Structure 1
């Protein structure tokens, strides 16, 4: 079984992922640009059930001003501000973990980009990766 660990800058938040990570997806939406202070976010998409906090509690910001119209809960460390993970509401069965918070991401590569239509002109997008001008359609959660 694959296992990944990670945490925030100050060490108050630690987590464990008990699932493989096939690749990373970069999000270039305006909200990810604003929340990261950069060209967007780089994320590992993992099953919700495979992620658990092992130390600390995250603070949550419900981002309802998304272009998709769905609320995105953004979880971060209240002490140092590090963004840790996000998930849509209702939960579609997966969440996105910020790749920069992983302890070891050396074997992972960006395999896809979303919201390229709103990417900053100076953002690097590898043309050899899968690119979507908006989000990838996500199946509705099971009732």
Structure 2
């Protein structure tokens, strides 16, 4: 594996963790959203990652990661009786998001650490490449 492939792997990891951070931030921002129906209520979203193992086994290339999509959580929404709320339905219920802020904060910390590790890998590869070039002088 060349040092240039390491940049591809670290870059794909940083890109994937950036998507993870953005979806987590969106979930946290919408954690307190309220709606008058189940279909209109914000549902937590999570990215789906796929490691590119097929390329690694056939071409002997570096293994990266790709975001295959973002899916909505199937956790149940919170239904609350609040007849005085302006968004209450005809039965007096409002629907709250299924975002668990504690889980999202833990996910954000994990994504931040993963992003930082990918940056450190890229920096280490850059340093090794620079040292290799200095040896050729």
**Structure whose alpha-carbon radius of gyration is higher:** 2
TM-score, normalising length: structure 2: 0.23
- In terms of fraction of residues, the more strand-rich structure is 1
Q: Relative CO higher for 1 or 2, CA cutoff 8 Å, sep ≥ 6?
A: 2
